[in-house]
Amino acid sequence: MKDFRNILPSVLVFVLCAIALHAADYRTDEVIVKFKSKGPLAASALSISEERPMVLAVDNTDKAIKELEESGEVEYAEPNYIIEAESVPDDWPYAGQWSQLDIEDAWDLLAQCQPGPEVVIAVIDSGVDGGHPELQGILIDGYDFASNDGIPEDNSGHGTKVCGVLGAAGNNGSGIAGVAWDVDIAVMPVKFMDKNSDGKTTGNLSDAIESIYFAVDHGAQIINASWGFYDYSRALQDAFAYAQSKGVLIVASAGNKGQNNDLNDHYPSNYPLENIIAVAAIDTTGTLATFSNYGPKNVDIAAPGVGITTTTMNGGYVAWVSGTSFATPFVTGIAAMVLSQTPEIDYVSLRQIIILSAGQTPSAGSNAIASGGCVNAYQALIFEEGSVDATKDIPSGVDPTQDAGTAYTAAHGSASGGGCLIGTSQASSLPFTMVPVMISIVLFRIHWRKDLE
């Protein structure tokens, strides 16, 4: 029999290390709180919308959450989690042509169509290189919630890479072409992440929440969210539900742990909302990338995510970037194509068109996602709009306890019909303000965090 007295110290060390690692996933000096609409604490929160949470500066996160919940005056109190961009190192050794996308055929089709109305896309990320020659003419005003100013300049490179995949200028004889280069897009860079001392691109949950409300209130029709974390946040779900209430589609990365998201948490991709498309990454063979999360229930579609060439800071270019971060803007760009040609459709129909028109990929790993394959630009554009039943859910997949090698066939709609349907696009633009609040409770004060640490 093993001597468990010798094993126990090692187990304790492992547990303590795990606790320490988890503690580093959120700020220890802040909590996110939503007060109940009626009560003395809510009444003290001057100028803050009852629909939105606020950030409290605290001495001890766990203790403050416990005391707030025991007060009976909050709907919820939760940590201010640290969110990380979902990319992998730039030197990933892979290249490919991505024939699964049918992107060239889609561009040829769009060239025969009348230009559609402008599509406003918010890239909520680390900002953008505003002077990059490939991104001129598509950038509109955004905001920097990491530094609390109106200049979302990128000092990490992640957001600029995402924007390049999405909409870098095409057919100009240099550089690269983004997916939606021939669509009238307006890219709104909203920054909440920055480069930290470890070289990672991270941001606070509270800043991500503010970014979502800002993007929605300033007219975004599609939001690209190439980031995530592995803890549930009610406040973030409320923000995405707000986006849904305003008709905004969210395209979110599925994550890079190689895990089954049907069995393990990953947010925002796992939120049970009708406006979210969760994106996995595949390589040029159509095989699910080894790092990509999957799940036939919670991951909707795949897109190229290995060995991508795109824009980077200082007007440059980079090859070999990989991750679900860079698969996500492929889907965002194709959604923009469809919306530009059929601007009258709602987010539910747009989401279903993207998923149901996916090209089937026979590779084992790729079949562990709801659509069973890769986003297909051409098929999405010609997808017969009448075949989409907005009242019917996309079929759920195989048993989530099965592994990535389980084959899964999803129900697909017709791929016939015509695109080039032109209408009028409407996007609301509402003022957005976040007002600091002072309140006294359990030895802490409210404090809006302006800097990433």
- Tell me the two tokens of residue 270: 């796992």
CATH code, domain carrying 198: 3.40.50.200
From the list 225, 244, 274, 203, the residue with the least C-alpha distance to 121 is: 225
The verdict on 176 and 57 lying in the same domain is no
The verdict on 275 and 194 lying in the same domain is yes
* Rounded Cα distance, 301 and 293, in Å: 11
Q: Is residue 93 part of a domain?
A: yes
Q: Decide: 258 and 284 in contact? Cβ < 8 Å.
A: no
How many residues does this entry show for the chain?
453
Whether 254 has a pLDDT exceeding 80, the answer reads yes
The verdict on 78 and 160 lying in the same domain is no
The verdict on 250 and 361 lying in the same domain is yes
From the list 377, 356, 341, the residue with the least C-alpha distance to 102 is: 377
Whether 399 has a pLDDT exceeding 70, the answer reads no
Percent of residues, the chain, with pLDDT higher than 90: 64
The verdict on 257 and 116 lying in the same domain is yes
* Rounded Cα distance, 295 and 365, in Å: 10
The verdict on 206 and 140 lying in the same domain is yes
Q: Is residue 429 part of a domain?
A: no
Lowest mean pLDDT, pick from 103-117, 136-150, 256-270: 103-117
Q: Is residue 4 part of a domain?
A: no
What pLDDT sits at residue 44?
Answer: 53
Question: Residues 62-93: pLDDT tens digits?
Answer: 999 999 999 999 999 999 999 999 876 543 32
Q: Any residues with CB less than 8 A from the CB of 328 and at least 6 apart, and which?
A: 162, 224, 225, 226, 251, 252, 253, 279, 303
The verdict on 64 and 211 lying in the same domain is no
Residue identified by tokens 């005056």 is 73
Provide the number of structural domains found in the chain.
2
Percent of residues, the chain, with pLDDT higher than 70: 73
Q: What is the mean pLDDT of residues 141-169?
A: 97
Question: Residues 316-373: pLDDT tens digits?
Answer: 999 889 999 999 999 999 999 999 999 999 999 999 999 999 987 666 565 689 998 9
The verdict on 143 and 195 lying in the same domain is yes
Q: Decide: 216 and 179 in contact? Cβ < 8 Å.
A: no
The span from the first CA to the last CA of the chain, in angstroms, equals: 49
What pLDDT sits at residue 422?
Answer: 22
Q: Is residue 190 part of a domain?
A: yes
Q: What is the C-alpha R_g of the chain?
A: 22
Q: Is residue 151 part of a domain?
A: yes
What pLDDT sits at residue 280?
Answer: 96
Residue identified by tokens 């109940």 is 36
Whether 380 has a pLDDT exceeding 60, the answer reads yes
The verdict on 74 and 129 lying in the same domain is no
The verdict on 282 and 232 lying in the same domain is yes
pTM given for the model: 0.80
What pLDDT sits at residue 319?
Answer: 86
What pLDDT sits at residue 384?
Answer: 61
Lowest mean pLDDT, pick from 291-295, 357-361, 396-400, 446-450: 446-450
Lowest mean pLDDT, pick from 59-68, 139-148, 373-382, 386-395: 386-395
What pLDDT sits at residue 172?
Answer: 86
Whether 250 has a pLDDT exceeding 90, the answer reads yes
Q: Is residue 3 part of a domain?
A: no
Whether 33 has a pLDDT exceeding 70, the answer reads yes
Question: Residues 261-315: pLDDT tens digits?
Answer: 999 999 999 999 999 999 999 988 888 999 999 999 999 999 999 999 999 999 9
Q: Is residue 218 part of a domain?
A: yes
pLDDT band at 447 (very low <50, low <70, confident <90, very high): very low
What pLDDT sits at residue 218?
Answer: 98
The verdict on 162 and 304 lying in the same domain is yes
Give the range of the structural domain holding residue 63, as residue numbers without chain letter: 17-82+434-446
> Which residues are part of the catalytic machinery?
125, 158, 325
* Rounded Cα distance, 286 and 100, in Å: 7
The verdict on 56 and 114 lying in the same domain is no
Q: Is residue 11 part of a domain?
A: no
What pLDDT sits at residue 387?
Answer: 55
Whether 134 has a pLDDT exceeding 60, the answer reads yes
